[in-house]
Structure 1
Amino acid sequence: MPQYKIPAVYMRGGTSKGVFFTADSLPLDAALRDRILLRIVGSPDPYEKHTDGMGGATSSTSKVVLVGPSSRDDCDVDYLFGAVSIDQPVIDWSGNCGNLSAAVGPFAIARGLVPAPRDGVATVRIWQANIGAKIVAQVPVKDGEVEEEGDFELDGVTFPAAPIRLEFLDPATGDGDGEAGSLFPTGNVVDVLDVPGHGHYRATLINAGNPTIFIDADALGLHGNEMQPDINDDAALLAKCEAIRAHAAVRMGLASSAHEATTLRPATPKLAFVARPRAYTASSGKHVDSSMIDLNARILSMGKLHHAMTGTGAIAIAVTAAIRGTVVGALLRERERAQAAEASTVRFGHPSGVMSVGAQVNEHDGAWVVTKAVMYRSARRLMDGHVFVPSSVAGTEPRMRSDNLVS
């Protein structure tokens, strides 16, 4: 019996890569869709290699994206992101991928979903369907096609490329239901988490980019400049981090129990730890001096330390840094930080190097409001063609979508 083939594009966006599909190329039935996508990626894989699939066996490379015409008058396309578990039959649709957001505009232009000028910059208005938020991408275009080559360098990506400006508008996230959520779901800029078997942790629980938890590195016995082997080779530390993350998810109203957060919602919220600037050698061999950064930041993704920084994590850092009293803001209290109408930019060190990101934050009637967060990324098509799925998974040709992602 022949395999079933589906049009797809393999793309890098920021420091991530994934398999991109137009919405109408996948089944209407969500369970069948997820079963097909899991098989395309090669999950679940007890060997954690993704040898028989398109995944890269890391949280940064085990991802899928669906893009279709927008259901909204103020957007061009709807974008749905899935974080695929490597060793479990789970696709977590609860959050966004800030890095792959950079590839949505180029994909939409290449697929003819959005018109582009002959030369210049194409503005692509994206509705992020997971979290119900708007992203505006400024995509460089030359001779009517997306310009992918350039001299923009991004730590965590080997080769330079053309820069793409991303504006995340009102990035306070909801819970994937298309409704904006509270920036601080508990109403506090700092909470104390009681994590049975591990202790108490001061944390900032914030909805910005993705639901994110910030704690001080020293609360984990860390310096904040650790690299992947320091964290990922320590099973006890990873278990502690997951326990903190899972209990924070319950506090944020994202899961009914810590067990549910661990088993059904592994992608969000994400746990990050931060520290004052401290020098280290990045994974590329680049020396990061303490004078180059405002703070050190590390984030865990799908149970492991991320090799760089998630795009949504960068947004959360920028927003949290701009708000006094937060775990991140407290590290920066000696600096004069602009509030109100001025955009605040923070430079932070991550395992692959240094990143700068800005956020515009205002305080209104005692409540914090985020207007937008801005960062630059790049994207590139790696392969355009078809992915193949065994007929035993896809069955007979399924009924495909003809509508947009959110109706």
Structure 2
Amino acid sequence: MQIGIPCLFMRGGTSRGPYFLKEDLPSDERVRNKILLAVMGSPDERQIDGIGGATTLTSKVAILSPSEHPWADVDFLFAQVNVLTPKVDVSPSCGNILAGVGPAAIEKNLVSADVNGKTTVKIRAVNTGALIESVVCTPGGQVTYEGDTAIDGVPGAAAPILLNFMNIVGSKTGKLLPTGYLSEEIEGIQVTCIDVAVPMAIAQAEALGKTGYETKAELDADTAFLERIEAIRRIAGERMGLGNVANSVIPKFAIIAPPRQGGSITSRYFVPDTCHAAHAVTGAICVASCTLLQGSVADGMAKVTDSEQQNIIIEHPSGKIEISLVIRQQGSEIVIERAGLLRTARLLFSGNVYISSHLWT
């Protein structure tokens, strides 16, 4: 026998996956993870027996519930379902899947839509504790997905969704610079270990023998390079206080280079064992923040003004992503208060996804 679990299947930003209500899944984490693996069809390189898309960007899950946080309306638990191994990782969050949380919360009646045109959904990212405002277009009290906002990595255009990230510094470690250094040597490479929206280890592409302008396919094919950055990432994770990160997707890793297409900086972001086809939202916030820090590996690559709002455009394999950072000066240090950006989302289908009933026991 099979049982059906209600869900919305949505594109959020440059990612895609099912959006569940927490109440529709088992409370036991081990049982829940077995079900999520079955839903997506993992482990299998094609995910042929599930609804996963056989890539890291299309093997993601959102779990929503009413929030008990005094500020938030909705709790959002993100799950990265591994394509090739029976593993579900809930340590990171995902800014792209986050783009669909506001619309999904309204569609699932967790939040009432404002008939005047826009609805602000206050979200707590359970994985990291981050607080985010999602401003969704709701003319007539219904979510609209049609619009003229285009984001690189997604064909066509859709209605804009404004995401404002609050309390982004120290998402996992509690510190902007978890190791206490703006730049340090790991395996002979200068690296900045930074935690803004997501913990990351960032290095200059040139130092690793790359230009920084390579395609995803070119970087994914260089196994020696991937092994080298993985070795650096694991050491960085230990130094950042994250312990043994061999089986964790954080900290993330990025290589950076000067811009070539009119942006502020070029980045190739790893997730972590392959290159992202575009760029993660949280990773973009972290890379953008790194450009503001004098003495970091990104120092001097982007033009930084004296303004309290810094707009940093990151060039990636599929185009560009723009991050707006609100900062203030505190003595000789920069304090990053919040980050904002535009994303889009689309509801693909609504219904039940079916799994074998024995998995629920």
Same structural fold, with TM-score higher than 0.5 when normalized by the shorter chain? yes
Q: 1:241 aligns to what SS in structure 2? A: helix
Output the aligned Cα RMSD: 1.4
Instruction: After TM superposition, give the deviation of residue 365 of structure 1 in Å.
Output: 4.5
Q: After TM superposition, list the pairs within 5 Å mapping 1:5-404 onto structure 2.
A: 5-45=4-44, 48-175=45-172, 181-194=174-187, 200-255=188-243, 257=244, 261-263=245-247, 265=248, 267-278=249-260, 290=261, 292-332=262-302, 335-338=303-306, 342-395=308-361
Query: Does the 8 A contact of 1:151 with 1:161 survive in 2?
Result: yes
Structure 1 residues 3-56: Cα deviation after superposition (integer angstroms, max 9, x where no partner): 0211011111110111110110111111111111111111112xx111111111
Structure 1 residues 60-83: Cα deviation after superposition (integer angstroms, max 9, x where no partner): 111111110001121100111011
CA distance in 2, matches of 1:347, 1:11: 26
> Runs of 5+ in structure 1 lacking a partner?
195-199, 279-289, 396-407
Q: 1:100 aligns to what SS in structure 2? A: helix
Letter in 2 for 1:133: A
Paired residue total? 361
Cα distance 1:206–1:327, how it changes in 2: closer, same or farther (>3 A)? Answer: same
CA distance in 2, matches of 1:137, 1:210: 18
Q: 2:56 aligns to what SS in structure 1? A: coil
Query: Does the 8 A contact of 2:304 with 2:310 survive in 1?
Result: no
CA distance in 2, matches of 1:54, 1:377: 23
CA distance in 1, matches of 2:227, 2:259: 26
Moved segments of 4+, more than 3 Å: 365-368
Instruction: After TM superposition, give the deviation of residue 367 of structure 1 in Å.
Output: 4.7
Query: Does the 8 A contact of 1:358 with 1:375 survive in 2?
Result: yes
Q: 1:37 aligns to what SS in structure 2? A: helix
Structure 1 residues 62-116: Cα deviation after superposition (integer angstroms, max 9, x where no partner): 1111110001121100111011111111111111101111110000001000011
Percent identity between matched residues is: 37
Letter in 2 for 1:84: V
Query: Does the 8 A contact of 1:169 with 1:371 survive in 2?
Result: yes
Letter in 2 for 1:236: A
CA distance in 1, matches of 2:140, 2:186: 54
Higher relative contact order (CA 8 A, sep 6+): 1
Instruction: After TM superposition, give the deviation of residue 173 of structure 1 in Å.
Output: 3.5
Q: 1:157 aligns to what SS in structure 2? A: coil
Structure 1 residues 300-325: Cα deviation after superposition (integer angstroms, max 9, x where no partner): 11411000000111111221122222
> Runs of 5+ in structure 2 lacking a partner?
none
Q: 1:315 aligns to what SS in structure 2? A: helix
Q: 1:145 aligns to what SS in structure 2? A: coil
Query: Does the 8 A contact of 2:26 with 2:360 survive in 1?
Result: no
Instruction: After TM superposition, give the deviation of residue 346 of structure 1 in Å.
Output: 1.1
